[in-house]
């Protein structure tokens, strides 16, 4: 099943949907680009981790299944995402040589997570649950907008911006850049590259689950969408070039706008086609002789 949004005809709803998707994609894109700074590779298991965290939240929060309080269910989903992502450091990054082996290891880990989620977490159909605020509507400028769309924007965008600022202006952010540039230098400076990588992976996992919880009422989030969600996360991180988390914010919004508009124009497959066209077009442009973008390292 494709990762698509429902068709909307109201321009106000279309804009709010684009903004909600953009905020969520910006959030997970910032997380992926932050991991890239510390590891010089892309987090290709982020989609399955996002899906697992969302499904854990749904399993725990649905009254007919477990029925724990929503806050507990959300925290459990975020914690599961953080732990699964952090475990990739000793299982993949700590064991394999960097470069292509890391990427292959992350792809294998993603496949294992997706299979496990399909086997143990996706045995029931769950109705999407908004993170906060219920399923009501609010009136903004005469337009009636769904509360989940507003919540996705109001939580996703500030969180993405704050994370980008932390990476750029804090000691932890400087450490992860040192680890990404030269692990031996990091060790000589007195901090462990493995610990830094595990911390940034854990943060990425939790942030990815948060992004998934924000868009669950807007678009499909399930085992079948793990790969498309990974594509969107990586695309948001890399769309405008390897400039770090700050560039993932506009990249995510560009991706959300294209997906919402294309899906509205072509309900059956517009979102997927729009995202694919945008990504391929920018890959071609950035890889051209004029741009010379592919010579730059993360």
Contact yes or no for 80/53 (Cβ under 8 A): yes
Can you tell me the distance from the alpha carbon of 189 to that of 186, in angstroms, rounded to the nearest whole number?
Answer: 5
Each residue of 127-138: pLDDT tens digit? 555 555 456 777
Each residue of 40-97: pLDDT tens digit? 999 999 999 999 999 999 888 875 567 788 899 999 999 999 999 999 999 999 999 8
Can you tell me the distance from the alpha carbon of 167 to that of 71, in angstroms, rounded to the nearest whole number?
Answer: 27
Contact yes or no for 229/50 (Cβ under 8 A): yes
Whether residue 7 is predicted with pLDDT greater than 50 in this model: the reply is no
Each residue of 71-87: pLDDT tens digit? 999 999 999 999 999 99
- Encoded tokens for 78: 């975020």
């Amino acid at each position: 099943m494709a990762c698509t949004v429902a068709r909307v005809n109201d321009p106000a709803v279309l804009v709010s949907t684009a903004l909600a998707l953009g905020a969520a994609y910006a959030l997970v894109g910032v997380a992926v680009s932050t991991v890239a700074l510390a590891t010089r590779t892309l987090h290709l298991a982020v989609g399955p981790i996002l899906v697992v965290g969302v499904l854990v939240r749904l399993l725990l929060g649905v009254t007919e299944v477990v029925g724990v309080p929503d806050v507990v269910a959300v925290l459990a989903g975020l914690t599961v995402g953080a732990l699964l992502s952090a475990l990739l450091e000793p299982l993949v990054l700590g064991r394999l040589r960097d470069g292509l082996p890391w990427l292959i290891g992350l792809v294998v880990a993603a496949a294992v997570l997706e299979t496990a989620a399909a086997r143990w977490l996706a045995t029931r159909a769950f109705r999407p649950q908004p993170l906060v605020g219920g399923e009501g509507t609010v009136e903004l400028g005469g337009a009636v907008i769904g509360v989940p769309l507003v919540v996705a924007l109001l939580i996703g965008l500030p969180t993405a911006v704050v994370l980008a600022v932390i990476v750029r202006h804090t000691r932890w952010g400087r450490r992860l850049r040192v680890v990404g540039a030269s692990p031996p230098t990091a060790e000589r400076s007195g901090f462990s590259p493995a610990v830094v990588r595990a911390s940034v992976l854990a943060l990425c996992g939790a942030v990815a689950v948060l992004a998934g919880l924000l868009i669950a009422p807007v678009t499909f989030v399930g085992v079948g969408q793990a790969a498309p969600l990974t594509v969107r996360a990586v695309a948001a991180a890399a769309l405008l070039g390897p400039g770090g988390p700050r560039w993932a914010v506009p990249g995510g919004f560009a991706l959300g706008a294209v997906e919402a508009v294309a899906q509205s124009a072509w309900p059956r497959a517009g979102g997927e086609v729009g995202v694919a066209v945008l990504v391929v077009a920018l890959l071609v442009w950035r890889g051209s002789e004029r741009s010379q973008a592919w010579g730059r390292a993360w």
